[in-house]
Structure 1
Amino acid sequence: MLWLHIGMPKTGTTALQGYLHGNAGFLQDQGIRYMVSGRDRGTGKARLICHNTMAVSMSRGWRDAPDPDAFAEEYTAHGSGHCVLSSEMFFGRDLAPMQDRYLARIDAPVRIILYIRRFDDFIEADYKQRAKNGMQTGGVDAFVAARLSLIESDPDYMNLGTMFDRLREQVPGAQIHPRLYLRDEMVGQNVIPDFLSVMGVAPGDVTLPKVAANQSLSRLASEALGLFDERGAGFDKKARRRLGRALQQSNDPRLFARGDVLTPAEREAVNETLETRNAAMRKAFFPDRDRLFPKRDADPDTPTRGHPGEVMEFQYAVRKLHKLVKQQQG
């Protein structure tokens, strides 16, 4: 059977893809094939950790797209087990072109699996990702205000039931398998064994990577990192990623924080509105739950957005980054 893993973004996707890419032998023993088609740049051997090139090609009219015949042949050779495609870039896209070009060529139902993140945490992670990549956000206040306005004005925004209906139309016969991105409730408390458990792999058989998952940079550290962009500071994407990794590896507690993008009132408004919006989906897929996500009290150790010490914390993060740049330059 074919599993199409589509994210959603900020749910441990890169860690999962890195594991799938790096453990082909173990997966083979478990009857799992992480499809090479779409990851191999036409070489027949996996080079990339995910299938983003398929998503990009789909947006470009299949220019430089993977060969449909090679995809069908690979599936035929391994389809008696579990075959996996994975890209968070599939999330929210129209998959009908992918169905026509690839999925319709195999004689098997498609199972679509995605992890759902807490609504407020998703908005926070989205902002931080944009900020540290130097993307235009308009500033945190404007970004949050725009998201709150979108939530109120667009009844389809983050309406997962509506999205699932669209997926079924785009990929006829697809079975949807949503899972909650709640570490305490995941199999093995990690997305990797949780994902593999769906395919019958016992969590005790999974050896997790020794490198721990990245801590969440604070909003201010993310914004500071975004200053080191190609336009203003001459840092291309690769150089900024190296700088970001160095910032992560510093383990400086002043550079890490969660819950520092939305205020407590904004978090409550986001979560309550979207919990209500997704009530029907919750009843269909998680009938034993009263809510998709448990309520969470604000962390008293996390300063509220706009607190008096923000300027000093931002300056500290910038100085730290300058110091790391000097170290990298030798």
Structure 2
Amino acid sequence: MLLASESSFSTKLPIVQAPMAGVQNSALTIAVANAGGIGSLPCAMLTPDALASELEVIRAAGIKTYNLNFFCHQQPDPDTEREAKWRQALAPFYQEHGINSDDVPAGAGRLPFSEASLEVIRPYQPPIVSFHFGLPKADWLDEIKTWGGKVWSSATTLEEALWLEAHGADAVIVQGIEAGGHRGMFLTDDLDAQPGTEALLQAVLDAVNIPVIAAGGIASPEHVKAVLDKGAAAAQVGTAYLLCDEATTTPIHRELLKAEAAGFQHSTATQQSTATQPSTTRLTNLLSGRPARGLVNRLMDELGPISEAPPEFPLATAALVPLRAAAEKQGKGDFSPLWCGTDASGCREVSAAEQTQWLASLVE
């Protein structure tokens, strides 16, 4: 077990801002880094040109410690039969919104780490490159390490953490079942085998010899202190940043998050434990083809939340794009990815700097 005091992340505060595609850009990354934490930039939805542009912004800001996050899934071949089945499931929604499904193009939307990704980041030599869904090719990892870069990846089980350590990860992010967004699972697809953050953190700390970062359900200074006291090198926090000034969270998503957070605040005011506060989040594969946690919306209510209808990740998303746009024009998040962890109590409408300092306020 490697304690927080024995690991070095070249940062003042043991707070990692979780990379959150679709709700942030480099502004959040920079704000967290300037506050003393580790800011992260999600890269899976960025074109090479967009990634290079964001890296230029980070470089211009003088940020020395930051994390670039990539997906490393296997890109599936198009499956016309499954795509047709998916569109058939969505047909009533298309009809309701006057959308001709034949006019909706198929596509991936999210790309795995590749030689092209490496070519873009090479001149910038990012200090941390993290991955979701395992690790990419070993020679790519070797190159990242030649410039002193650290390789991180997410584990949702003890077996995944051990695999990551054996395959070259410099640190492992233990992602408890409470975490919002996509599950990083890559050795199993069994959602019943996904432990909570506390249990997973302890199991991994007892088994590996690389730094361990805790993620999932961490929403307050008390939560941060608890995982650090157990031996985590840092706490990774996502949901609590979604209402920050620098986040690009949509107005619809923000309003729903505020309602979710208000529910937790009410339970505290009535002396109920937030641990027993019923979350209005669920794991769903409807929005992308892979399990991800978000606030329940109409799509999840009517088709899922888990279904065999969507095509393989990430091919499910394209068919939802016009539905999302149509609903959002009406002020609804019926088909939107409203990512959120099980504990929204830490969501605050403040700057990312203030949020980072607050989260670390009990750290000695």
Q: Which has the higher strand share?
A: 2
**TM-score over 0.5 (shorter chain):** no
**Higher normalized contact order (CA 8 Å, seq sep 6+, divided by chain length):** 2
- Give the TM-score of the pair, scaled to structure 1: 0.38
